[in-house]
Chains A and B, each alone.
Chain A
Amino acid sequence: ARPYLKEEKEENKMNSFNLIKTFLSRRGAQPGQQERGPGRPRPGSPRRKQTECRNRLEELQRQEQSRASGTGKARRERDGRASLKKQREPPKKDKEVLGKEETRKQLKKPRSSSSLASSTSAGESMSEEELAQILEQVEEKKKLINTVRNKPWPMAKKLTELREAQAFVEKYEGALGKGKGKRLYAYRMLMAKVRDWRQRPAGRPLSHFGSSVASYFIFLRWMYGVNLVLFGLIFGLVIIPEVLMGVPYGSIPRKTVPRAEEEKAMDFSVLWDFEGYIKYSALFYGYYNNQRTIGWLRYRLPMAYFMVGVSVFGYSLMIVIRSMASNTQGSTSEGESDNFTFSFKMFTSWDYLIGNSETADNKYVSITTSFKESIVDEQESNKEENIHLTRFLRVLANFLIICCLCGSGYLIYFVVKRSQEFSKMQNVTWYERNEVEIVMSLLGMFCPPLFETIAALENYHPRIGLKWQLGRIFALFLGNLYTFLLALMDDVHLKLSNEAKIKNITHWTLFNYYNSSGWNASVPRPPLHPADVPRGSCWETAVGIEFMRLTVSDMLVTYITILLGDFVRACFVRFMNYCWCWDLEAGFPSYAEFDISGNVLGLIFNQGMIWMGSFYAPGLVGINVLRLLTSMYFQCWAVMSSNVPHERVFKASRSDNFYMGLLLLVLFLSLLPVAYTIMSLPPSFDCGPFSGKNRMYDVLQETIENDFPTFLGKIFAFLANPGLIIPAILLMFLAIYYLNSVSKSLSRANAQLRKKIQALREVEKNHKSIKNRATDSGETPKSSSNSATQLQITKAEPTSHSAGQTQTLDKKAQDPGTSGPASGMRLPASQLPPGSQPLEVRPDSSKPQVQTHPWRSAPGKSTQRPPH
């Protein structure tokens, strides 16, 4: 798959004119091939470039003859084709060869199988070679179908070509017995539809608010996809087996509501707090039994629970890192923008997605200001004013913000402590029960605006200011989350210390119950009803419930903020504007802006809570999926109906990886507490899949010892030896260091090469300006593009081409094809993996120029555009 991708990349980089050229020559080639087939009708032949066409035809026929002599038997047909490939390669242009190889690789398997099948059935009328030819043609047509979208033809031409090609493929594909292709095609269409659906919710705000708001929705959608996978994992491997095959509800104490809570267990207020029946359901950790295997499948549930918990983190880590890597690969041309500041501003600053007049107004203003800014920058680059005051203000602002952070952290710690006291008391009010969540949500609501006002002191550039703002809110959320976790940990330790006592009580109760005097010893007593057994507090479920509540309250607060803060405000402003003393829309309340940074951070932290909580509450991911789905549509609606676009329209293309980095950090931070609890806290003795074990990870050892053969167990024990692990870690560090230094040196080489190219361009400029004065103006573009080709592709050919002659075109097309990509273009590609795109682009973009100009300058000749 690797070379295929590479080729495709190169192909994409090819100029569109090159495509035209290629296509024309291919059209020239097809009649030649088809003459050899048994009388196939060939519709239109190209009216242009007759000579080239004829040349190619002759060439092909010559090859055909040589091949016919070379291939004799059916067994050897593959070798024959290989040699044919070799023969054909040199005369053809690089483009075509690339394309051929690509399709060949793709379809090697079906081809060989089908041709083998046909060779065994002697009744086949066609010979091997004809078959191969048809296959080749089919592939070419298929390729045409795939690439027809990329060609700058008018639609009518595209359509006719496409129909022709499709008809051809259908006709001969059926004959060759490749029915599989059709099914594959249907599958692909299905996937395309799915992709289309996935893009739809982001589509509408995308076209109205510019790309920054859209990036939030794309992020949300991506998150939804990740959560769906996690949900499938947990639901399919843990919840469903437990519900289907586990011991039913009410059979053992951990699956039964205790007697004391029983009469209230179905009340809505209790259920709303995730107590009662919900607490003792498969949504939470405590429900799961510690039987090693369940059901007739002998499904090892505790093991599965553990592995799913680990793989949730594994999958998330993998996918976050993968998308980060693909993002960095996408943005190759970094650090080069300083060359073309004004050009980029002029040609790419308009966001074509904007379809809303307000956004457009803002965009105009921002473009104007940016132009003015860069003009001012250009005129006077350094003018610092009163640096001491700015510095003082910035220090002050940071101090204030740190105070805020500490205050909020303490507040949360205090509240969590208080809630622990409340939880011991009976009959607490609703407010006291939900104090933690309310305080956290309020902090999340009011601190960011506070930060924003403080940040106004600092007088940063808006983009840097946004980064600071994001960082501060991030610190706030993180601090809050970790304070919450620490307080929760205290709680857990408290419960753990209580647990030993309760364990004794439980044993004692059971013992007493069975040995109570005054009962006939010969009659066995009925076992104690599960609801009556005293039990421990099950700290895992308690933690899970906390996370569940936090998630739900967070969701509700988000929705209520949207409803009150945006929708009601928008309605108020809209309808009261008719009878008010000042202009509400322009003045004070106005409409709300869509707060991208806050929303993204909220999403990230919510995801962090999901990651942390999903080990203790398997149902949490399901709730989160619902939440994301609803908020996708709800926020979409809210944005469309009641928000105005930003005043400063800034681009979001760069901040994608910033968000991803934050997400990765949060993922790592949420991994820590879970790993801590798994590795060093004893699980509750009477609930959950790991009850009765010393540590949660004991389930792994148990499985290895009991279910695998003994030598495997020995191997694992050997692997877990510290003497082996420490060297492995050392080795990893060394590898990281090595790779890091390699990448550094590569990037240095990249920079040097770029400098070299810059220098070359300068030389070329001077050279050309001299030349320009000497030569006629009509020759200018030609010679310039030629010299560009010379410089980039090391000495392709030092000839000067005359204008519209087909000979030149042919030569030109062949020469870079053979020498250019082999030596000049591939070299930078292999040397500089990530940042080399601009290097390769230049030869590509300069080369086809030669072919372009005759076509552009003589529109009378161009037959690409048939008259309508």
Chain B
Amino acid sequence: MRLFYRYQDLAPQLVPLDYTSCPAVKVPYELIGSMPELKDNPFRERIVQVFSEDGDGHMTLDNFLDMFSVMSGMAPRDLKAYYAFRIYDFNDDNYICAWDLEQTVTRLTRGELSAEEISLVCEKVLDEADSDHDGRLSLEDFQSMILRAPDFLSTFHIRI
């Protein structure tokens, strides 16, 4: 219920109060990305893309609810791991490759690191987590790594 009001607040001119009558309304990415919960997140673009249906970042209420149910504290670990994988998989090829890792590092550090440092970090990450030596992280690699992370559950969490 609260979520619905939040959703409606984002675009009061677009979303009618009586939601059931026309469920196909979408809220554009610009509005969702400017939510206070998301606006400082370096991965907001990815989050919104992953949860929107067609990958363009426009969300229906259902997508919106989806997003926050995955990000809530009640969602199980594996579900979170799955979506985290998709968020970090920038080019949507079901593998986190070196390019994805570079993107991630650049976003995390706002480009403060030099190119060699970034490549070093990516190399290290691949070295640590890539269990089949194919130069990229599959979902399996990612999950086996992320499920051991001590603070994954506490950090991959948005409270509304």
A-side interface residues toward B, CB under 8 Å? Answer: 12-17, 149-152, 154-156, 159, 203, 206-207, 211, 331, 333-334, 336-337, 339-344, 346-357, 359-360, 364, 367-368, 371-372, 375, 378, 651, 653-654, 761, 764-765, 768-769, 772, 780-781, 784-785, 788, 838, 841-842, 845-846, 849, 852, 856, 868
**Closest Cβ of chain A: how far from B76's Cβ, in Å?**
5
Interfacial chain B residues near A331, Cβ < 8 Å: 150
Indicate whether A346 sits within 8 Å of B104 (C-beta atoms), given known contacts A353-B158, A765-B131.
yes
Complex CA gap A371/B106 in Å reads 11
Q: Which residues of B contact A367 (CB under 8 A)?
A: 108-109
* Complex A-B, nearest 4 residue pairs according to Cβ-Cβ distance, in ascending order: A155-B62, A360-B40, A342-B124, A368-B109
- Among B39, B53, B117, B134, contact of A154 (Cβ-Cβ < 8 Å): B53
Give the Cβ gap from A733 to chain B, nearest Cβ, in Å.
34
A348 & B156 in contact (Cβ 8 Å cutoff): yes
Residues of B within 8 A of A154 (CB): 53, 62-63, 66
List B contacts of A155 (CB < 8 A).
61-63, 65-66, 69
- Contact check: which of A336, A347, A349 meets B84 at CB < 8 Å? A347
Q: Bound state CA distance, A868 and B26, in angstroms?
A: 12
- The CA-CA distance from A348 to B37 in the complex, in Å, is 17
A347 and B79: CB pair below 8 A?
Answer: no
- Give the residue among B78, B124, B138, B154 with the most A Cβ atoms within 10 A: B78
The answer for the CA separation of A334 and B149 in the assembled complex, in Å, is 9
Chain B: interface size category: 35 or more
B148 and A342 within 8 A (CB): no
A841 to B101, Cβ gap below 8 A? no
Say if the beta carbon of B14 comes within 8 Å of chain A.
no
| B residues adjacent to A (C-beta < 8 A) | 24, 36-43, 53, 60-63, 65-66, 69-71, 74-79, 82-84, 88, 94, 101, 104-105, 108-110, 112-113, 117, 120-121, 124-125, 128-129, 131-134, 138-140, 142-152, 154-160
Q: Choose from A16, A348, A784, A849 the contact partner of B78 (Cβ within 8 Å).
A: A16
Inside 8 A of B133's CB, which chain A residues have their CB? 765, 768-769, 772
User: Which residue from chain B places its CB closest to the CB of A651 in the assembled complex?
Assistant: B151
CB B6 to nearest CB in A, in angstroms, measures: 12
| Contact residues in A for B66 (Cβ distance below 8 Å) | 154-155
Query: In the bound complex, do residue B152 and residue A347 qualify as a contact, i.e. CB atoms below 8 Å apart?
Result: yes
In the bound assembly, the distance between CA atoms of A349 and B105 in angstroms comes to 11
Q: List 26 A-B contacts (CB under 8 A).
A: A12-B76, A13-B78, A15-B78, A154-B62, A154-B63, A155-B63, A207-B160, A336-B148, A340-B149, A349-B108, A350-B43, A352-B155, A354-B40, A359-B40, A364-B108, A364-B109, A364-B112, A371-B108, A375-B117, A375-B120, A653-B150, A764-B131, A784-B131, A784-B138, A785-B140, A849-B140
Task: Tell me, rounded to whole Å, the shortest Cβ–Cβ distance linking A426 to chain B.
Answer: 58
Q: Do B139 and A852 have beta carbons less than 8 Å apart?
A: yes
> What's the least CB distance linking B153 to chain A, in Å?
9
Closest to A357 in B: B40
Q: How far is the CA of A838 from the CA of B138 in the complex (A)?
A: 18
Contact partners of B38 in chain A: CB under 8 A: 355
Residue of B nearest to A151 (CB): B79
Q: How far is the CA of A652 from the CA of B154 in the complex (A)?
A: 10
| A16-B78, A155-B65, A340-B145 known; A653+B151 contact, CB < 8 A | yes
For A334, the closest partner residue in chain B by CB is B150
> How far is A250 from B143 in the complex, measured between Cα atoms in Å?
72
A150 touching B76 by the CB < 8 A rule? yes
Contacts of B109 in A (CB 8 A): 364, 367-368, 371
The dominant DSSP class at the A interface is: helix
CB-nearest residue of chain A relative to B44?
A352
Chain A residues within an 8 Å CB radius of B60: 868
- Contact B104–A14 (Cβ < 8 Å): no
CB distance from A423 to the nearest CB of B (A): 51
- Tell me the bound Cα distance from A339 to B148 in angstroms: 10
B101 to chain A: which residues have CB within 8 Å?
346
Question: In the assembled complex, which residues on chain B have CB atoms less than 8 Å from the CB atom of A149?
Answer: 69, 74-75
Name the distance in Å between B106's Cβ and chain A's nearest Cβ. 11
Partner of A340, one of B76, B88, B129: B129
Cβ A350 vs Cβ B77 within 8 A: no
Most buried by B among A371, A761, A765, A780: A371
Complex contacts, A336 vs chain B, CB 8 Å? 148
Q: How many A-B residue pairs have CB under 8 A?
A: 203
A149-B69, A355-B38 are known contacts; what are 15 more A-B pairs with Cβ within 8 Å?
A150-B76, A151-B79, A207-B159, A346-B104, A347-B152, A348-B146, A353-B158, A357-B39, A357-B40, A364-B109, A364-B110, A653-B154, A772-B132, A781-B138, A784-B140
How far apart sit A13 and B143, CA to CA, in the bound complex (Å)? 11
Q: What CA separation (Å) do A700 and B128 show in the bound complex?
A: 64
Docked pose: A788 CA to B133 CA in angstroms: 14
Q: How far is the CA of A375 from the CA of B120 in the complex (A)?
A: 8
Q: Using known A-B contacts A16-B78, A653-B150, determine if residue A351 contacts B155 with beta carbons closer than 8 Å.
A: yes
- Pick the contact of A152: B40, B63, B83 (CB < 8 A): B83
A357 to B138, CA, bound (A): 33
Q: Which residues on the B side are within 8 Å of A14 (C-beta)?
A: 78
Closest CB of chain A to B48's CB: distance in Å?
A: 13
Please, which residue of chain B has its CB at the minimum distance from the CB of A770?
Answer: B133
A155-B66, A333-B150 known; A353-B159 Cβ under 8 A: yes
Task: State whether A845 touches B155 (Cβ < 8 A).
Answer: no
Residues of B within 8 A of A151 (CB): 79
In angstroms, how far is the closest chain A Cβ from the Cβ of B45? 14
CB distance from A546 to the nearest CB of B (A): 41
Q: Known contacts being A149-B69, A152-B83, A838-B148, is A780 close to B132, with CB within 8 Å?
A: yes
Closest chain A residue, CB of each to CB of B43? A350
CB-CB < 8 A to A351: which residues of B? 155
A353:B148 contact, CB within 8 angstroms: no
CA distance A206 to B60 in the complex (A): 27
Q: A211-B154, A346-B121 are in contact. Are A368 and B112 (CB under 8 A)?
A: yes
A352 x B41 contact (CB < 8 A): yes
Bound Cα distance A109, B140 (Å): 41
The residues of A that contact B134 with a CB separation of less than 8 Å are: 772, 780
Structural contact, B124 and A352, CB atoms closer than 8 A? no
Docked-complex contact B144 and A355, CB < 8 angstroms: no
Q: By the criterion CB–CB under 8 Å, are B152 and A348 in contact? A: yes
B68 → chain A closest CB, angstroms: 10
Query: Does the CB pair B79–A378 fall under 8 Å?
Result: no
Closest approach, in angstroms, between the C-beta of A669 and any C-beta of chain B? 31
Complex Cα gap A764–B144 (Å) = 15
A211-B155, A348-B149, A653-B151 are known contacts. Are A356 and B40 too (CB-CB below 8 A)?
A: yes
A348, A372, A651 — most chain B CB neighbours (10 Å):
A348
For the complex, give the distance between the alpha carbons of A331 and B151 in Å.
9
Report whether A347 and B88 are in contact in the complex, using a CB–CB cutoff of 8 Å: yes
CB distance from B140 to the nearest CB of A (A): 5
Chain B residues with CB below 8 A from A371, complex form: 105, 108-109, 113, 117, 121
CB distance from A650 to the nearest CB of B (A): 11
When the two chains form the complex, which single residue of B37, B77, B121, B131 contacts A355, counting CB atoms closer than 8 Å? B37
In the complex the two chains form, what is the Cα distance from A336 to B24 in whole Å? Answer: 47
**A155, B101: Cα distance in complex, Å:** 30
A355 touching B82, Cβ below 8 Å: no
Closest B-chain residue to A378, C-beta based?
A: B124
B125 touches A350 (CB 8 A): no
Residues of chain A with a CB closer than 8 A to B71's CB: 352
A788 touches B140 (CB 8 A): yes
Q: How far is the CA of A471 from the CA of B142 in the complex (A)?
A: 38
Q: How far is the CA of A375 from the CA of B143 in the complex (A)?
A: 24
Smallest Cβ distance from B98 to chain A, in angstroms?
A: 12
Cβ contact within 8 Å between A842 and B125: no
Q: Is the CB of A342 within 8 A of B125?
A: yes
Find chain A residues with CB under 8 A from B128 CB: 339-343
- Inter-subunit contact B140/A846 (CB<8 Å): yes
Q: Which B residues touch A349, using CB under 8 A?
A: 108, 155
Contact indicator B150/A16 (Cβ below 8 Å): no
- What is the bound-complex CA distance between A622 and B53, given in angstroms? 53
Q: How far is the CA of A354 from the CA of B42 in the complex (A)?
A: 11
Question: Do A841 and B144 contact each other (CB < 8 Å), given the known contacts A347-B152, A368-B113, A653-B151?
Answer: yes
